[in-house]
Amino acid sequence: IIGAVAIAQALAPMARIAGFDVTLIDPRPTFATEQRFPHCRIMQTWPDKAMAALKPDRNTAIVTLTHDAAPDDMALDLALKSDVFYMGALGSRKTHASRCQRLTEMGWSDEDLAAICGPIGLDIAAATPAEIAVAILAQVIAAKNR
């Protein structure tokens, strides 16, 4: 999970209950804390450094939740270079279109970008951080089980 935000606080424990090992990546030490994310591996660094150490593979899902282009694009660029089974990014359709334009400028094709789930999560008309987390986790589980 990229981004120590409210949705991540709901998603992390749900993902653990569902059987996932959860790593929270956020360079902000005020937000990426054990108090906010108990029972998670916490990496207080940028996604490029964290993902270099983690070496994402076909057993990895990447979920970007920051609403900040710099860490989200960095994580998605690295996810696209790996064999992760799922990658998704928070944001509206307009935000996702802008994100895809930036990634296209980084050399990714439309076919490559089709692998990114954006807006992230199943469409269940989720409104709260917990509901959005349920929608995201359902989409991740569906991708894992395909």
φ, ψ of residue 61 to 5 degrees: the values are: -115, 135
**Residue range 37-54, pLDDT digits in tens:** 999 999 999 999 999 999
Tell me the CA distances in angstroms from 142 to 7, 11, 28, 86, one per residue in order: 19, 15, 31, 10
Q: 92-112: per-residue pLDDT in tens? A: 999 999 999 999 999 999 999
Alpha helical stretches, state H, 1-146? 6-17, 47-54, 69-80, 93-105, 110-113, 129-144
Q: What is the mean predicted confidence (pLDDT) over 18-36?
A: 98
Given a cut of 90, whether residue 67 has pLDDT beyond it is no
| C-beta atoms surrounding 18 within 10 Å | 13
Q: What is the pTM of this model?
A: 0.94
Q: With contact defined as beta carbons under 8 Å apart, do 34 and 42 qualify?
A: yes
Domain 6-144 architecture:
3-Layer(aba) Sandwich (3.40)
112-139: per-residue pLDDT in tens? 999 999 999 999 999 999 999 999 999 9
Nearest to 3 by CA among 42, 38, 35, 60: 42
Annotated domain spans of the chain: 6-144
pLDDT at 50: 98
Cα(144)–Cα(86) distance, rounded to whole angstroms?
Answer: 8
